[in-house]
């Protein structure tokens, strides 16, 4: 559960941050203090995995929300279920980005660029699988690959930098292994395809084509700056490919035909669909998915309702 939703409900928050961001976690705690939040309303905790299990089991903890991997989600859900605690899980995603034959191709290429490579591709709801109608495939690929090739990679504090490094060397190496597996089995690298030869967790902005079901890149989440593009022979083919995933977080549809976009949105096995924009989020919009992308919702009214006790009090005559 995002912190603001819990606090708006009147709940207190114990936040166990991801291990790679202790300084930003402490900074967030200080921001809440500086803003005047009551002491103890928001507490950042440094805890081991074993300690987290004990915290979840503690009767003072009424519910658990996790943003993380499938592995972490399964572990947290198991402990929460054993202790009869409400749980919300926001896990991985391999979101499809559908470019229909009625799309504005220039706009679609721009949205795909920002949707895939923003935050160095490290977003659960990033546009990871670009599925393009046959009629506009060549035009889209030309414009998309050209845009990706032009991405400036460098110091993220510089105003003209588009993409920085990955969160860790382990993340870079894991992504490289997935790409290498695809290439070894016949995938085509349209641009990029390898780590950058410099100190740090850098990886080239990459576009892969020709990915097939026997490759890890087909079924696994690529959590970094790698886009996989597919050619769809029909709308049914695009929908089938989009839904052929263990994940079901979000999706994007690019089309100037509003009725067609709405009809296809209804057919996709996802928790969210964005039409004619890059994937994103906003505080007022419910965020979450289905299948192995998690359970429950964050943000908006539905996110707030996840951790509210709806008590009935009835007075008889």
Q: Report, as residue numbers or ranges, the catalytic residues.
A: 90, 124
Q: How far apart are CA 33 and CA 43, in angstroms?
A: 10
Q: Which two tokens stand for residue 13?
A: 């928050």
Q: Which two tokens stand for residue 295?
A: 């359970």
Q: How far apart are CA 260 and CA 83, in angstroms?
A: 46
* β strands within 117-251, DSSP E: 127-133, 188-191, 206-209, 226-232, 247-248
Q: Which two tokens stand for residue 283?
A: 């505080």
Q: How far apart are CA 223 and CA 172, in angstroms?
A: 9
Helical ranges in 58-193 per DSSP H: 70-82, 105-117, 137-149, 169-184
Q: How far apart are CA 102 and CA 253, in angstroms?
A: 11
Find out whether 171 and 222 touch, Cβ atoms under 8 Å. Answer: no
Which residues, in sequence order, are bridge partners of residue 132? 99, 231
Considering only CA atoms, which of 274, 254, 258, 260 is closest in space to residue 100?
254
């Amino acid at each position: 559960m995002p912190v603001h939703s819990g606090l708006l409900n009147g709940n207190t928050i114990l936040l166990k941050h991801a291990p790679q961001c202790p300084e930003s976690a402490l900074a967030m705690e200080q921001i809440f203090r500086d803003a005047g939040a009551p002491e103890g309303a928001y507490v950042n905790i440094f805890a081991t995995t074993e300690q987290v299990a004990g915290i979840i089991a503690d009767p003072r903890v009424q519910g658990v929300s996790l943003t993380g991997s499938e592995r972490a989600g399964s572990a947290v859900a198991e402990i929460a279920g054993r202790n009869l605690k409400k749980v919300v899980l926001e896990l991985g995603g391999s979101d499809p980005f559908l470019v229909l034959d009625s799309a504005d191709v220039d706009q679609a290429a721009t949205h795909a660029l920002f949707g895939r490579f923003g935050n160095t591709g490290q977003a659960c709801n990033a546009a990871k699988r670009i599925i393009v109608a046959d009629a506009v495939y060549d035009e889209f690929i030309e414009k998309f690959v050209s845009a990706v090739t032009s991405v400036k990679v460098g110091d993220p504090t510089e105003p003209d930098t588009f993409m920085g490094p990955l969160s860790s060397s382990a993340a870079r190496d894991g992504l490289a292994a997935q790409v290498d597996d695809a290439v070894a089995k016949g995938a085509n690298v349209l641009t990029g395809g390898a780590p950058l030869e410099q100190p740090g967790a850098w990886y080239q902005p990459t576009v892969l084509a020709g990915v097939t079901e026997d490759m890890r890149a087909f079924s696994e989440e690529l959590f970094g700056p790698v886009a996989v593009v597919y050619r769809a022979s029909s709308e049914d083919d695009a929908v089938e490919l989009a839904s052929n995933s263990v994940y079901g977080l979000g999706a994007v549809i690019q089309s100037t035909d509003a009725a067609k976009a709405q009809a296809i949105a209804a057919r996709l096995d996802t928790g969210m669909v964005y039409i004619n924009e890059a994937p994103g989020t906003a505080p007022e919009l419910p965020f979450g998915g289905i299948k192995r992308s998690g359970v429950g919702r964050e943000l908006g009214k539905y996110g707030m309702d996840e951790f509210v006790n709806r008590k009935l009090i009835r007075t008889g005559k």
